[in-house]
C-alpha cells in the first residue's frame, strides 16, 4: 500500500484472553498494528471490542497472553503462549497513566469529558506531561529572573500555546471559554479527540467516534481522522459500527464475534467474507 | 458588643477558614467527601499543646510541627483509603475521625521535661494552655494559605485534581497519576487542619476530645458545599457567613440552631451549587472588568452558530 505504512509493529496482542468469571469476553485474540496504519476493529454488539481497548490501556488485567507496545511489554497475564503450550509468566500490570504516558491516547464510546470545566481547560489538563514544575514551583511566579524562578510562567505559557493550536486544528477554538458540557454533541467528540492529541500520542485509540452522528457528520469525521493521522503521523486503532466509515477509512480490519477472532484483512476482503456476513446478518436458511 | 467578643469570633473564623480551605481542596476540588476532618484538627491541637506545654517549643514552630504530624497521618490514611470510591471513602474517613477522638478520650499521658510537669488526662483533656493565638497572627497565617492555595489550584496540580473530580477514568486516560493527585489533596488538607488545630487549642486555652466530634466535621463539609464546591472565594464566604450566623442569631435564643439550619436549606434551594457555584471572585463580571480581563464580557457563540459552522 502507500508509503506511510511502515513495517514496524507498534501494538501487538499475543493470544490475549480476558475472562469475567466464566465468561470469556475476549478469547485468544492476536493481531499486530503497523506504524502509520488505520486499523479497524469491528464486530456485533457485545463482541468484546471495548474490552480489548480496556485491556490495552491497562484498565483491566489480562487473564492470559501478552500485549506489547513499541517493542516493550505493557501487560502480561499469568499465562502466556510462547509455543503451542501455555506457560507460566510473571504478571505485569501497568497503571493506566503509565501506559498512556508511553505514547497512547484514547477516546470513549460514551463521551467522557471534564464536564464542568471549560473547553480550554479540558485540553490544557491533558497537556500536563509537558510541564514538570513542582508544588512549590507553582508558588513562585516571577516573570523575569533565573530559570528556576520563571519555570512556572514559561511552562504554563508553552502549555497554553499548544492548547490553542490544538483547538484551532480541531476547529473549536471559538468555544474555548464555554463549559464542555454545553458544547453541541459533534463538537464534544472533536474536543475529546483534541484532548487525546494533547498527550502527543503516537498511537490513538478511537472508540466509536461516530456514534450518534448523521451521515454528513460521519463523512466530515472520516476526513478529520485522516487529516489528523497525516499531520501528527499517528497509528490509529478504531472501533466503529458505521460500516461506511470503517470500510473507507481503514487499511486493515479485524472482526470479532463473541470474543473470538473471526477474520482479518483489507476492507475488500472483509466485505466478501462469508463468516463476517453471517455474524452480522445471520445464516441463510438451507432449504 | 465589645471588641473582645468580636475579636473572638474573628479568630474562630480565621482558623475555621483554614480548615475549610483544606477541606475545599479535598472535597471541592478533588471530589472526595471527608467526614473525619475533625480528627485531623484534633491531632493538630494535641500535638501543638504537647509541643508548647511539655517541650517548651515556640508557638509558631509547634503549629508547623502539628501541621506536619497531621499531614503524615493523612498520608498514611490516604495510602490505605484513597483507592476507595465515593461513599466508601466517606465512611472510612468518618471512622478514622471518630477513632482519633476516642484514642485521645482514653489516652493518659504524663510528661516531665526540664522540670515542667505536663498531664494529659483522657476525656478531661488539657487545661491552661497558653493563649498565644492572636487575631493578627491568625489573619496572616490564613492570608498566606489563601494565596498559596489559589496559586496551587491555578497550576497543573490543581487542574489535575479537578480532572479527578470530573471523571477519574478520563483523567487516568489523559496520563494523570490520579492516585498522586488525590494523595496531594489529602496531605494538603490534613496539613491545613493540623495547623488550624494548633491555633484552636491556643485560642480556647483548653482542649478536650469532645470538641472534635463528628458534628464538627459535618459543619466543615457544610461550609464547603454552602460556599460552592471548587471555589476558594466560596469557601471564604461560606466560612465567614456560617461562623457569624450563630452569633448574630443569639437574639432568638434557643431557636438559633433552627434558624441556622433553615438558612442553609434556603441557600441550597436558591443556589443549588452553593453561593459561588464554582466561580471565583475574578470570574464575576464587575471584578473582571476591574482587573482588565474582558473574558467574561466577550460574547460566546451559541450552539446554533456551532451547528452552522459544523455543516
Task: Examine residue B193 and state whether it is found in any structural domain, yes or no.
Answer: yes
Q: First and final CA of chain B: distance in angstroms? A: 67
Cα–Cα distance measured from residue A284 to residue B227, given in angstroms and rounded to the nearest whole number: 65
- One domain, residues A90 and A205: yes
* Chain A residues within an 8 Å CB radius of B230: 116
- One domain, residues A243 and A278: yes
Angle at B104 between CA B100 and CA B106, to 5 degrees: 120
Low-confidence ranges of chain B (pLDDT < 50): 295-311
- Contact of B196 with B15, CB cutoff 8 Å: yes
* Chain B residues within an 8 Å CB radius of A139: 148, 151-152
Domain that holds residue B78: 3-213
CB distance B300–A152 less than 8 Å? Answer: no
ipTM for the whole complex: 0.88
- Contact of A187 with A206, CB cutoff 8 Å: no
- Contact of A198 with B288, CB cutoff 8 Å: no
Domain that holds residue A59: 1-103+201-287
CB distance A133–B156 less than 8 Å? Answer: yes
Task: Examine residue B249 and state whether it is found in any structural domain, yes or no.
Answer: no
Indicate the residue among A174, A199, A224 that finishes a domain.
Answer: A199
Beta strands in chain A (DSSP E): 9-20, 23-34, 38-42, 64-69, 72-76, 79-81, 86-88, 92-93, 104-106, 203-207, 235-239, 252-257, 260-265
**Which chain A residue is nearest to residue B166, measuring alpha carbons?**
A114
CB atoms within 10 A of CB B155: 22
Cα–Cα distance measured from residue A30 to residue A21, given in angstroms and rounded to the nearest whole number: 22
User: Which site among B161, B162, B174 would you substitute to test the A interface, given the most A Cβ atoms closer than 10 Å to its Cβ?
Assistant: B174
pLDDT confidence tier of residue A282, bands split at 50, 70 and 90 = confident
Indicate the residue among A177, A199, A221 that finishes a domain.
Answer: A199
Task: Examine residue B168 and state whether it is found in any structural domain, yes or no.
Answer: yes
- One domain, residues A205 and A195: no
**Which chain B residue is nearest to residue A170, measuring alpha carbons?**
B310
Task: Examine residue B34 and state whether it is found in any structural domain, yes or no.
Answer: yes
Question: Among candidates A10, A29, A89, A8, which has minimal Cα distance to A264?
Answer: A29
- Rounded to the nearest integer, the mean pLDDT of chain A is 88
Q: Give the number of domains in chain B.
A: 1
CB distance A125–B160 less than 8 Å? Answer: yes
User: Which site among A60, A184, A224 would you substitute to test the B interface, given the most B Cβ atoms closer than 10 Å to its Cβ?
Assistant: A184
CB atoms within 10 A of CB B13: 23
**Largest Cα–Cα separation, chain B:** 84
Task: Examine residue B152 and state whether it is found in any structural domain, yes or no.
Answer: yes
What crossing angle do the helices spanning B214-227 and B256-270 adopt, rounded to 10°? Answer: 40
Indicate the residue among A149, A164, A199 that finishes a domain.
Answer: A199
**% pLDDT > 70, chain A:** 98
Q: Which of B152, B170, B300 sits opposite A138 (nearest CB)?
A: B152
* Chain A residues within an 8 Å CB radius of B307: 184
Q: Which of B167, B176, B184 sits opposite A112 (nearest CB)?
A: B167
3-state DSSP assignment of residue A125: helix
Q: Give the number of domains in chain A.
A: 2
3-state DSSP assignment of residue B201: helix
- One domain, residues A217 and A265: yes
Task: Examine residue B7 and state whether it is found in any structural domain, yes or no.
Answer: yes
- One domain, residues A161 and A217: no
CB atoms within 10 A of CB A46: 13
Please list, residue by residue across A240-261, b when 16 or more beta carbons sit within 10 angstroms of its beta carbon and e when fewer do. bebeebbbbbbbbbbbbbebeb
- One domain, residues A97 and A21: yes
Give me the count of residues in chain A. 287
Task: Examine residue B254 and state whether it is found in any structural domain, yes or no.
Answer: no
pLDDT tens-place string over residues A46-74? 888 999 999 999 999 999 999 999 989 99
Give me the CATH number covering residue A154. Answer: 3.40.50.300
Considering the entire predicted model, what is its pTM? Answer: 0.88
Task: Examine residue B266 and state whether it is found in any structural domain, yes or no.
Answer: no
CB atoms within 10 A of CB A230: 11
pLDDT tens-place string over residues A152-172? 888 889 999 999 999 998 888
- One domain, residues A205 and A235: yes
- One domain, residues A139 and A195: yes
* Chain B residues within an 8 Å CB radius of A153: none
From residue A178, alpha-carbon distances to A126, A192, B271, B277, B280 in Å are: 17, 15, 21, 16, 16
- Contact of B204 with B253, CB cutoff 8 Å: no
- For B106, which DSSP code? H
B223 membership: H or E segment, kind and range: helix B214-227
Half-sphere exposure of B127 (CA within 13 A, CB side): 3
**Which chain B residue is nearest to residue A174, measuring alpha carbons?**
B301
Q: What is the pLDDT of residue A286?
A: 64
- One domain, residues A6 and A98: yes
Q: What is the pLDDT of residue B292?
A: 64
- For A174, which DSSP code? G
What residues does A253 pair with on adjacent strands?
A40, A265
**Which chain A residue is nearest to residue B159, measuring alpha carbons?**
A125
Size of interface A-B (CB pairs under 8 A): 113
pLDDT tens-place string over residues A92-130? 888 999 999 999 999 998 899 999 899 999 999 999 888
- One domain, residues A93 and A223: yes
Q: Is the pLDDT of residue A38 over 80?
A: yes
Question: Among candidates A124, A121, A97, A139, which has minimal Cα distance to B144?
Answer: A139
Which region, left, alpha or beta, applies to residue A175 given φ > 0 means left and ψ of -120 to 50 means alpha?
alpha
Amino acid at each position: 500500500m502507500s508509503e506511510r505504512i511502515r513495517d514496524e509493529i507498534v501494538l501487538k496482542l499475543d493470544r490475549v484472553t480476558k475472562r469475567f468469571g466464566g465468561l470469556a469476553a475476549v478469547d485468544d485474540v492476536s493481531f499486530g498494528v503497523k506504524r502509520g496504519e488505520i486499523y479497524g476493529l469491528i464486530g456485533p454488539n457485545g463482541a468484546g471490542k471495548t474490552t480489548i481497548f480496556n485491556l490495552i490501556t491497562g484498565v483491566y488485567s489480562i487473564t492470559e497472553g501478552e500485549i506489547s507496545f513499541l517493542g516493550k511489554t505493557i501487560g502480561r497475564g499469568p499465562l502466556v503462549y510462547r509455543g503451542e503450550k501455555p506457560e507460566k509468566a510473571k504478571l505485569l500490570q501497568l497503571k493506566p497513566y503509565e501506559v498512556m504516558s508511553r505514547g497512547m491516547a484514547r477516546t470513549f464510546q460514551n463521551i467522557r469529558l471534564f464536564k464542568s470545566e471549560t473547553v480550554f481547560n479540558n485540553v490544557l489538563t491533558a497537556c500536563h506531561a509537558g510541564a514538570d514544575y513542582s508544588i512549590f514551583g507553582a508558588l513562585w511566579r516571577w516573570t523575569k529572573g533565573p530559570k528556576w524562578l520563571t519555570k512556572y510562567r514559561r511552562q504554563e505559557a508553552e502549555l497554553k500555546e499548544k492548547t490553542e493550536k490544538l483547538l484551532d486544528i480541531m476547529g473549536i477554538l471559538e468555544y474555548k471559554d464555554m463549559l464542555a458540557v454545553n458544547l453541541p454533541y459533534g463538537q464534544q467528540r472533536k474536543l475529546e479527540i483534541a484532548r487525546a492529541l494533547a498527550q502527543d500520542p503516537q498511537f490513538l485509540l478511537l472508540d466509536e467516534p461516530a456514534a450518534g452522528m448523521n451521515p454528513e457528520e460521519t463523512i466530515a469525521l472520516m476526513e478529520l481522522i485522516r487529516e489528523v493521522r497525516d499531520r501528527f503521523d499517528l497509528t490509529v486503532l478504531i472501533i466503529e459500527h458505521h460500516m461506511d466509515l470503517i470500510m473507507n477509512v481503514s487499511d486493515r480490519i479485524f472482526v470479532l464475534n463473541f470474543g473470538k477472532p473471526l477474520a482479518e484483512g483489507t476492507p475488500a476482503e472483509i466485505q466478501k467474507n462469508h463468516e463476517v456476513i453471517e455474524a452480522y446478518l445471520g445464516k441463510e436458511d438451507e432449504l | 458588643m465589645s471588641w473582645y467578643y468580636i475579636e473572638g469570633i474573628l479568630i474562630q473564623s480565621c482558623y475555621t477558614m483554614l480548615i475549610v480551605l483544606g477541606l475545599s481542596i479535598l472535597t471541592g476540588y478533588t471530589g472526595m467527601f471527608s467526614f473525619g476532618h475533625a480528627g485531623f484538627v484534633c491531632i493538630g491541637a494535641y500535638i501543638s499543646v504537647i509541643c508548647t506545654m511539655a517541650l517548651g517549643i515556640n508557638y509558631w514552630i509547634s503549629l508547623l510541627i502539628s501541621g506536619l504530624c497531621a499531614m503524615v497521618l493523612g498520608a498514611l490514611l490516604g495510602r490505605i483509603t484513597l483507592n476507595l470510591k465515593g461513599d466508601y471513602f466517606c465512611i472510612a474517613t468518618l471512622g478514622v475521625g471518630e477513632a482519633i477522638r476516642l484514642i485521645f478520650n482514653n489516652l493518659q499521658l504524663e510528661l516531665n521535661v526540664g522540670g515542667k510537669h505536663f498531664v494529659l488526662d483522657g476525656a478531661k483533656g488539657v487545661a491552661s494552655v497558653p493563649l498565644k493565638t492572636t487575631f493578627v497572627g491568625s489573619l496572616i497565617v490564613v492570608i498566606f494559605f489563601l494565596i498559596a492555595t489559589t496559586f496551587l489550584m491555578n497550576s497543573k496540580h490543581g487542574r489535575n485534581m479537578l480532572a479527578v473530580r470530573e471523571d477519574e477514568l478520563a483523567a487516568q486516560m489523559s496520563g494523570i497519576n490520579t492516585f498522586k493527585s488525590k494523595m496531594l489533596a489529602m496531605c494538603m488538607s490534613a496539613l491545613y487542619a493540623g495547623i488550624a488545630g494548633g491555633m484552636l487549642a491556643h485560642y480556647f486555652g483548653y482542649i478536650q476530645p469532645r470538641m472534635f466530634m463528628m458534628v464538627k466535621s459535618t459543619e466543615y463539609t457544610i461550609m464547603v458545599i454552602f460556599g460552592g464546591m471548587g471555589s476558594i472565594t466560596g469557601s471564604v464566604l461560606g466560612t465567614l457567613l456560617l461562623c457569624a450566623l450563630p452569633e448574630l442569631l443569639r437574639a432568638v435564643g434557643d431557636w438559633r440552631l433552627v434558624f441556622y439550619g433553615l438558612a442553609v436549606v434556603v441557600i441550597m434551594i436558591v443556589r443549588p451549587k452553593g453561593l459561588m457555584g464554582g466561580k471565583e471572585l475574578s470570574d464575576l463580571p464587575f471584578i473582571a472588568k476591574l482587573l482588565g480581563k474582558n473574558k467574561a464580557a466577550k460574547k460566546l457563540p451559541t450552539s446554533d452558530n456551532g451547528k452552522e459552522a459544523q455543516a
